[in-house]
Structure 1
Amino acid sequence: MSTVDSRRLVQKLWNYCDVLRDDGVSTIDYVEQLTYLLFLKMADERANRKLRPEQIVPSELSWQTLLDAEGDALEVQYRHILTGLAREGGTLGTIFRKAQNKIQDPAKLKRLIVDLIDKEEWSGTGVDVKGDAYEELLAKGAEDAKSGAGQYFTPRALTAAMVDCMLPTPDDTITDPACGTGGFLLAAFDYIQRQHGSSLTPDQRRRLAAGAITGTELVDGTARLAAMNMLLHGIGTPNGPSLITVADALGREPSRRVSLVLANPPFGRSSSIRMVGEGGKASREEREIERADFWATTANKQLNFVQHIASLLEIDGRAAVVLPDNVLFEGGAGEVIRRRLLNQYDLHTMLRLPTGIFYAGGVKANVLFFERKRAREQPWTEKLWVYDFRTNQHFTLKQNPLRREHLQDFVDCYLPGKDRSERVETERFKAFAYEELIARDKVNLDITWLKDASLEDADALLPPQVIAQEIVEDLQAALREFAAIAEALGAQTSAAGDE
């Protein structure tokens, strides 16, 4: 099946989403229902194949029972399947955890089962096509701002560029502690397949498919999308252990260290959980979690993810993490964490991202690249190389979307796999010595040097629609911040009332 066939399949499934939307089924709900049904169809194909047939689900919960049922009996059987498989362990349990039927019209459910899914041979199309089709469907869901799916989605162009810089290998252990739908994990797996596929040993193939690539996701619905996405791409097995853990990654110290972390933790500064690190106890909120491996106590989720990811890495392990601007300049715990990161880790590169590339409007973010090192007296960070891809760069999700080629100059400057002593400064790529960084007020890493052309030259002003869009995005970001403050104040008030 070709790329054209993959797109045809996506469009076929997507068109039906419009039909169900009239019944109140959201985009993300629709993709979830597809997840359940695709799994059952693929399990049926495995059970009926000529070579090595495999029974993954009990016959009374099989795809065939859906094909045989009609009317109200179909809806009853579908609910019976969802509740039955939710009790299973491993990948089955992750995919069907808290599963519910959101398609209340039996006739429309029947059409989805018979006309849209049963007519395709999903196991026979090859993992690339069926996986890509599913991933495209997730991307379409992310484009639908009303669905809320975009909050789990990192632009593919950025994901690809980060992976190209990190050069994942068959011997890496790779994780994403806030994996969303699994985009970083799939990109790393795809890179390894493309670069090392012909030379992979049987042991390496088994390792990659069953444990070397894992993720953690807090939201049940998103975790099931990630588990299914990975399964469709050939990572993991339907009746094997789940490679996606449904949990709050910040809630406990890592049970194992990894060699590579790729992540875009959820944006938003508020948290009902206040982490307690080396600094000792903090003011009481809803719940406190003691993490002896953390450097500082803070309720800022992004700063806690920085500490968690730093703790996740084994010696010489490396990380590439998307983080909002406040991580670069926030005082208090933020300063403590930046000092520790510069001293105990090699924080060697930062990519300043433009606005307009995320589905959440008004986000100003960066990618931090760092490596864990063995303890020593002198700081590990000698130079922080900053690439300014923000100044005089303007993107939108539809009219001018970010593409992989837009990031090629950064990747070229990064010199993946080469000694960083060979790097060369350019207009957008500058190096800052450790002594210079540590001397900055509060170790502020929010570093700029390029002039904004629109401020220097009236002729360079952006088109009115772009300016208007940026104002809207900034207002949206401000509203989210105010909402987070209000939520935190409400939590504190409740806590005080309980005392």
Structure 2
Amino acid sequence: MLTGEVRNKIDKIWSDMWAGGISNPLTVIEQLTYLMFIRSLDEKELENEKTEALMGASMPRIFPLDEEGQSMRWSKFKNKDPREIFDIVGTKVFPYIKNLNGANETAFSRYMQDAMFLIPTPQVLQKIITGLDELYEHDIKDLDMQGDLYEYMLGKLATSGQNGQFRTPKHIRDMMVRLLAPTPDDKICDPACGTAGFLISSAEYIREKYEAEMTSEQWDHFAGGMFSGFDTDRTMLRLSAMNLMLHSINQPNIDYVDSVSKQNDITSEYDIVLANPPFTGTVDAESIHDNLKTVCNTKKTELLFVALFLRILKKGGRSACIVPDGVLFGATKAHKSLRKELVENHQLQAVISMPSGVFKPYAGVSTAILIFTKTDAGGTDKVWFYDMQADGFSLDDKRSSIEANDIPDIINRFHHLDAEADRKPTEQSFLIDKSAIVENDYDLSINRYKEIVYEKVEYDAPEVILDRLDELNLSIASKMEELRGLIRE
């Protein structure tokens, strides 16, 4: 999460760009992200050099080893004269990163083709470089910065509430990945990928758990075919391509696709779907794919996306997705139809209710995580419910780090559901029989099943309370007389 100090520094960079004549907020975001990417490339190159020196084996290089190639590195040009920096970035570095991944068929090359370097003057560029350097050196060394920056900037655009574009906090993404536990052989998709956060979290998990034992075929799969992401915003796709490339995923399937429309015919393709699809707004009924309407005939994106996940998963494929609470208990025919589909025709495994502050300060919406497996043959026996109370951060707009955190408990309990059998609905997590869910019209709201225990409070008899009040009145009167005596003296 970005602290207030970091936000202030970003605001200062924003102001410098605004004063320099860049008045479109989206242009500000793109230009800043390009420069962050350029800096990140140099950081990655430094890591390669360290690894090479340590292991004595040659590592792939990002920048050519000749003088001109090395002059394009952030660490080499950042302290030069502003006019020289401007010339190097505008005429050498920017054209270089646009063609960094070679052939046009790569996602990176495809979405960088229409990218433009729009910093107006050497002075403005120098201020941005100095500001970003200070941020990286002192404030955000370990943050998921590209996504956090976009999230913060998006709040400035005042459009996120209409578009539903709220980036999922990294610790929530990481939790969802750990719940599904992908393997190096899986194909993973986010059909509303934004800045590719879920794909990055999946890549980090696979590296952490399997890096030492992965085969060359699995590494080839990791570098490209493993990861797919779709979005309808070319800015998002550029950010995704840059973000994935920095995580050694050079050939991901990142594509401009309206996922719930007729242009998307993908069926039974993926092992894992992780997503936080748009919550707000509706889509044009004519453009919605017909086979999604058969599951739930609606224009609401939050319902259509869950139906889409079922379609694009292979049989046996699994999904963890974030939905607004309305999906769990909505009374429309489409809401009930989708929930019935999950419970009757597939295996709904878990409903994790999250506190409304998880997406603050950008949104106060109450959400839940649905975890299910596509079976096309039912399989829902019991559904696990968990009432998350804390995620390691305060639930106000500041989102400060706190000690209370249910996430480790959620991950541990989900992977040991046998141990949940004897837990009661009065506890934080519990299992509910499918029959109870059917009886409740497929309502998946945790409040429908959670039992609240009210402690019986024993009060003193009225006579005892009245006697106590008399004693208090006498004491007050005595103290008042004492005060009057002091005043007369």
TM-score over 0.5 for the alignment? Answer: yes
- 1:373 aligned to which of 369, 372, 375: 375
Q: Which residue of 1 aligns with 2:256?
A: 246
Please list every run of 5 or more consecutive structure 1 residues that lacks an aligned counterpart in the other structure: 1-8, 123-130, 275-284, 458-499
User: CA deviation digits over 1:296-344, x for unaligned, max 9?
Assistant: 2210101000000011111111110000011112221111111111111
CA distance in 2, matches of 1:213, 1:177: 11
Aligned pairs (5 A) from 1:19-34: 19-23=16-20, 24=22, 29-34=27-32
Report deviation, 1:446.
1.9
Report deviation, 1:62.
12
Tell me: CA distance 1:110–1:362, structure 2 relative to 1, closer, same or farther (3 Å).
closer
* C-alpha contact 1:26 1:147 (8 A) present in aligned 2: no
The farther-off stretch of 83-92 and 183-192 is 83-92
Could you tell me the percent identity over the aligned residues?
24
Q: Which residue of 2 aligns with 1:136?
A: 145
The farther-off stretch of 251-260 and 307-316 is 251-260
The farther-off stretch of 17-26 and 191-200 is 17-26
Whether 1:180 aligns to 2:189 is no
Aligned partner letter, 1:445: L
* C-alpha contact 1:396 1:402 (8 A) present in aligned 2: no
Q: Which residue of 1 aligns with 2:327?
A: 327
The farther-off stretch of 35-44 and 88-97 is 35-44
Report deviation, 1:54.
7.3
* C-alpha contact 1:163 1:188 (8 A) present in aligned 2: yes
Q: Which residue of 2 aligns with 1:395?
A: 395
| 1:233 counterpart SS class | coil
Q: What TM-score, normalized to structure 1?
A: 0.69
CA distance in 1, matches of 2:200, 2:218: 16
Q: What TM-score, normalized to structure 2?
A: 0.70
Q: Which residue of 2 aligns with 1:493?
A: none
Aligned partner letter, 1:182: A
CA distance in 1, matches of 2:289, 2:12: 45
Q: Which residue of 1 aligns with 2:438?
A: 438
Tell me: CA distance 1:107–1:264, structure 2 relative to 1, closer, same or farther (3 Å).
same
Q: Which residue of 1 aligns with 2:3?
A: none
- 2:275 aligned to which of 263, 288, 291: 263
Tell me: CA distance 1:43–1:425, structure 2 relative to 1, closer, same or farther (3 Å).
closer
CA distance in 2, matches of 1:221, 1:32: 7
Tell me: CA distance 1:19–1:29, structure 2 relative to 1, closer, same or farther (3 Å).
same
Report deviation, 1:70.
6.3
The farther-off stretch of 70-79 and 179-188 is 70-79
Report deviation, 1:391.
10
CA distance in 1, matches of 2:254, 2:300: 24
Report deviation, 1:32.
1.9
| 1:373 counterpart SS class | coil
| 1:356 counterpart SS class | helix
* C-alpha contact 1:295 1:337 (8 A) present in aligned 2: yes
Tell me: CA distance 1:335–1:419, structure 2 relative to 1, closer, same or farther (3 Å).
same
| 1:316 counterpart SS class | strand
CA distance in 2, matches of 1:51, 1:75: 25
CA distance in 2, matches of 1:249, 1:168: 22
Aligned pairs (5 A) from 1:105-120: 105-109=121-125, 112=128
CA distance in 1, matches of 2:120, 2:96: 14
Q: Which residue of 1 aligns with 2:473?
A: none
Q: Which residue of 2 aligns with 1:36?
A: 34
Q: Which residue of 2 aligns with 1:383?
A: 382
Higher Rg: 2
Aligned partner letter, 1:299: K
Q: Which residue of 1 aligns with 2:156?
A: 146
Q: Which residue of 1 aligns with 2:351?
A: 350
CA distance in 2, matches of 1:147, 1:253: 33
* C-alpha contact 2:394 2:401 (8 A) present in aligned 1: no
Tell me: CA distance 1:318–1:52, structure 2 relative to 1, closer, same or farther (3 Å).
closer
Ranked by relative contact order (alpha carbons within 8 Å, sequence separation 6 or more), the top structure is: 1
Q: Which residue of 1 aligns with 2:309?
A: 309
| 1:362 counterpart SS class | coil
Tell me: CA distance 1:105–1:234, structure 2 relative to 1, closer, same or farther (3 Å).
same
Tell me: CA distance 1:229–1:12, structure 2 relative to 1, closer, same or farther (3 Å).
farther
Aligned partner letter, 1:332: K
| 2:364 counterpart SS class | coil
| 1:179 counterpart SS class | coil
CA distance in 2, matches of 1:452, 1:419: 22
User: CA deviation digits over 1:80-127, x for unaligned, max 9?
Assistant: 9499869944233344254344433343235656x68899xx9xxxxx
Report deviation, 1:10.
12
Q: Which residue of 2 aligns with 1:273?
A: 284
Tell me: CA distance 1:292–1:324, structure 2 relative to 1, closer, same or farther (3 Å).
closer
Q: Which residue of 1 aligns with 2:237?
A: 223
CA distance in 2, matches of 1:69, 1:255: 53
* C-alpha contact 2:358 2:395 (8 A) present in aligned 1: yes
* C-alpha contact 1:25 1:103 (8 A) present in aligned 2: no
CA distance in 2, matches of 1:25, 1:61: 33
Q: Which residue of 2 aligns with 1:291?
A: 291
CA distance in 2, matches of 1:420, 1:26: 54
CA distance in 2, matches of 1:391, 1:168: 25
Aligned pairs (5 A) from 1:12-23: 16-23=13-20
| 1:224 counterpart SS class | helix
CA distance in 1, matches of 2:421, 2:19: 55
CA distance in 2, matches of 1:348, 1:429: 13
Report deviation, 1:226.
1.3
CA distance in 2, matches of 1:30, 1:382: 51
Root mean square deviation, CA, Å: 4.5
- 1:207 aligned to which of 221, 230, 239: 221
The farther-off stretch of 78-87 and 325-334 is 78-87
Report deviation, 1:355.
0.9
CA distance in 1, matches of 2:268, 2:348: 22
User: CA deviation digits over 1:207-231, x for unaligned, max 9?
Assistant: 1111112211221111211111111
Tell me: CA distance 1:159–1:43, structure 2 relative to 1, closer, same or farther (3 Å).
closer
